[in-house]
Amino acid sequence: PTQQERFSFQAEVVQLLDLMIHSLYSNKEIFLRELISNASDAIDRLRFAQLTEPGLDEDEEELRIHVAFDKDARTITITDNGIGMSRQEVMDNIGTIAKSGTREFFQALTGDQRKDATLIGQFGVGFYSSFIVADRVTLTTRRAGLSAEEGVRWESDGRGEYALETVERPRRGTELVLHLREGEDDLLNHHRLLTIIQKYSDHISLPIVMPQDGGDEAGEDTVVNRGSALWARPKSEIGDADYNEFYKHVAHDFADPLAHLHSKMEGTYEYTLLLFIPATAPFDLWMPEARHGVKLHVQRVFIMDDTGQLMPNYLRFVRGVIDSADLPLNVSREILQSSRVVDNIRSSAVKKVLRLLKDLAEKEPEKYARFWREFGDVLKEGVAEDFSNRDEIAKLLRFTTTKSATDEPDTSLSDYVARMKEGQDKIYYLIAPTPAAAKSSPHLEIFRKKGIEVLLLGQAIDNWLVTSLPDFEGKRLQSVAQGVSDLGAMEDEAEKEAGEKAGTELSGLIERVKKALGDKVADVRTTNRLTTSPACIVADEPDLELNLMRRMQGSGM
Ligand code: ADP
Ligand code: MG
């Protein structure tokens, strides 16, 4: 053993710990779920590493998670024989937050305990939750493949510093000892721990074992969870609570999911999908390095996290498991990229997810509205990204329109088409930087007067959306700010005549305006599309939209 060294936590860790202890106390038992979840991840990663790195299967011991307590020492101990950590890994993973979205998370904190508790949940509770019940945590670990002398011991009271030393550790994997806070003795009870494990961790596909008599180490170990992969069980045996807890484990989320789909496919290829739509967007949703959330398994063995092969970018919020019976266990990223099996799984998984969203929209519109608020702008990317499913995605889009009661996007393109005026053959939209700007735009005047609905688009992605979606169910999408406002059959004769008459009467004025503006404009003409404003600027038909031009120039006006 070497000398102990002391290190300071990253400032954010201290803040997070403080917050966590206070806001999550009422739900303190989740610490065990988080620690078992980490142990399970560590064993998953070991199994995968064993497929590719030689020399990692150092013993024949069964892979398992062990939970015990000691009444006299007032400790709970969680041990796994998973991948373990090297000294550097301990420093990188424990004591630092290296997650994307960290800055956003801290900015979003409000000081309101209840709101912040939800935020912490979204951000991920993880290892630090041990400090909810413990005032000292000792972690001893050794990375698989390193020698027994390269064990590491980490210890902290969670108040700003941790100590690190190199220790002898004959077994690979991680042992975590929680020294309980004063008043937490209720946890030193076999039945209590058993109940917590069965409530939160029954779905873990590895055996979780406890000494028969809890603290009595002499007693024989018994398996206390079902220990089979949840997705491989018959649906009839799985309850909502099982699905919810499993979701929290795979998604590293704290809240229940919004919806899930579970289906076993048996055709050319055999595979199982267990996929979830989260209720809230993760912090890194818009970051380039955002994690994809689907885990690939082969015959129940975890293989790897998706990096885009299983779910397209526009469905990057989907979480869950895909388990294939056809891929080889030692499948590599390279193989995945060019695998017919994967192509097949991916395209059917995408269809299933879109189908799930469609059902949600039809049967549970409130949930769908929630989904749309959280993920709508991501789904819009699909219109451009996934040509083969474009029509299905288009049906899932929701917009605010001139007929919406609030700023909530509540109108689908099908709703719009169903409400179209007689003689109307286009879907009209207006792109504006804000809803307020949209509502006061002079371009809308004639549409208001005639009672024609206009979609109000205000997100950065919407320019891209309308370029990628030229029509919907045979109706062209048409900007109200573009070209001659051709209302076609909806324009009556009287209006046409009045328009022509104005053109003749005002020809002198028009000439003067043209002269004054010179080549700053392509044309000056009269219009009958305005009712109260004297004039407005329109973009030429083939030109880029004015708004798009403004955005591209970055003037933002
Ligand atoms: P998350 O599980 O969401 O990554 P945690 O705070 O729970 O976040 O854990 C942080 C990291 O610490 C993990 O990603 C993992 O690298 C490491 N870790 C935690 N527990 C273990 C363990 N039992 N064995 C190996 N590594 C672990
Ligand atoms: Mg974790």
Atom of ligand 1 nearest to the CA of 83: 25
514/278: higher pLDDT? 278
Which of 38, 47, 77, 86 should be mutated for ligand 1, with most atoms under 8 A from CB?
38
Contact 277, 235 (CB under 8 A): no
The answer, yes or no, to whether any atom of ligand 1 lies below 6 A from the CB of 140, is: no
Distance CA 124, CA 295 (A): 17
Per DSSP, the three-state class of 65 is: strand
Segment 244-264 mean pLDDT: 93
The H or E element that residue 497 is part of is: helix 493-505
Q: Is 465 left (phi over 0), alpha (psi -120 to 50) or beta?
A: alpha
Atom of ligand 1 nearest to the CA of 89: 16
Q: Tokens for 439?
A: 């509502």
189/492: higher pLDDT? 189
Instruction: Write out the E strands in 46-182.
Output: 65-70, 75-80, 134-142, 151-156, 161-167, 173-180
Atom of ligand 1 nearest to the CA of 45: 25
- In this prediction, residue 556 carries a pLDDT of 37
Nearest CA to ligand 1 atom 13: 93
The answer, yes or no, to whether any atom of ligand 1 lies below 6 A from the CB of 127, is: yes
The answer, yes or no, to whether any atom of ligand 1 lies below 6 A from the CB of 252, is: yes
Q: CB-side exposure of 435: number of CA atoms within 13 Å?
A: 11
Under the banding of pLDDT at 50, 70 and 90, the label for residue 125 is confident
Q: Which residues have a Cβ under 8 Å from the Cβ of 218 and sit 6 or more positions away?
A: 211
Maximum Cα–Cα distance across the chain:
105
Q: CB-side exposure of 336: number of CA atoms within 13 Å?
A: 20
Q: Tokens for 44?
A: 């998953």
The answer, yes or no, to whether any atom of ligand 1 lies below 6 A from the CB of 356, is: no
Q: Measured in whole angstroms, how far is the alpha carbon of residue 542 from the centre of its chain? A: 37
The answer, yes or no, to whether any atom of ligand 1 lies below 6 A from the CB of 39, is: yes
- 183 residue type, one letter: G
What are the CA-CA distances from residue 190 to residues 171, 183, 195, 211 (Å)?
A: 26, 17, 9, 9
For residue 171, report the distance from its CA to the centre of ligand 1, in Å. 18
The answer, yes or no, to whether any atom of ligand 1 lies below 6 A from the CB of 80, is: yes
For residue 531, report the distance from its CA to the centre of ligand 1, in Å. 63
- In this prediction, residue 221 carries a pLDDT of 87
For residue 40, report the distance from its CA to the centre of ligand 1, in Å. 10
Tens digit of pLDDT for each residue in 320-340?
Answer: 999 999 998 878 878 888 889
Distance CA 397, CA 424 (A): 21
Which of 41, 64, 250 should be mutated for ligand 1, with most atoms under 8 A from CB?
41
- In this prediction, residue 51 carries a pLDDT of 81
Tens digit of pLDDT for each residue in 86-96?
Answer: 999 999 898 77
The answer, yes or no, to whether any atom of ligand 1 lies below 6 A from the CB of 31, is: no
Tens digit of pLDDT for each residue in 96-109?
Answer: 777 777 888 888 88
CB-based neighbours (< 5 A) of ligand 2, an ion: 38, 126
Q: Which residues have a Cβ under 8 Å from the Cβ of 437 and sit 6 or more positions away?
A: none
- 116 residue type, one letter: D
Q: Tokens for 321?
A: 């498991």
Contact 442, 533 (CB under 8 A): yes
In the sheet where 319-324 sits, what is the strand order?
259-266, 270-277, 319-324, 293-298, 301-305
Q: Which residues have a Cβ under 8 Å from the Cβ of 338 and sit 6 or more positions away?
A: none
Q: How many CB atoms lie within 10 A of CB 161?
A: 14
For residue 39, report the distance from its CA to the centre of ligand 1, in Å. 8
Q: Tokens for 425?
A: 């053959």
Q: Give the predicted TM-score (pTM) of the model.
A: 0.81
Under the banding of pLDDT at 50, 70 and 90, the label for residue 2 is low
What are the CA-CA distances from residue 327 to residues 262, 271, 282, 300, 492 (Å)?
A: 20, 10, 30, 12, 65
Tens digit of pLDDT for each residue in 46-60?
Answer: 988 888 787 787 767
For residue 38, report the distance from its CA to the centre of ligand 1, in Å. 5
Distance CA 518, CA 511 (A): 10
Looking at all shown ligands, the one closest to residue 293's CA atom is 1
The answer, yes or no, to whether any atom of ligand 1 lies below 6 A from the CB of 44, is: no
Looking at all shown ligands, the one closest to residue 99's CA atom is 1
- In this prediction, residue 502 carries a pLDDT of 74
The answer, yes or no, to whether any atom of ligand 1 lies below 6 A from the CB of 413, is: no
CA neighbor of 425 nearest in space, from 367, 374, 475, 387 = 475
Task: Look up the ipTM and state it.
Answer: 0.99
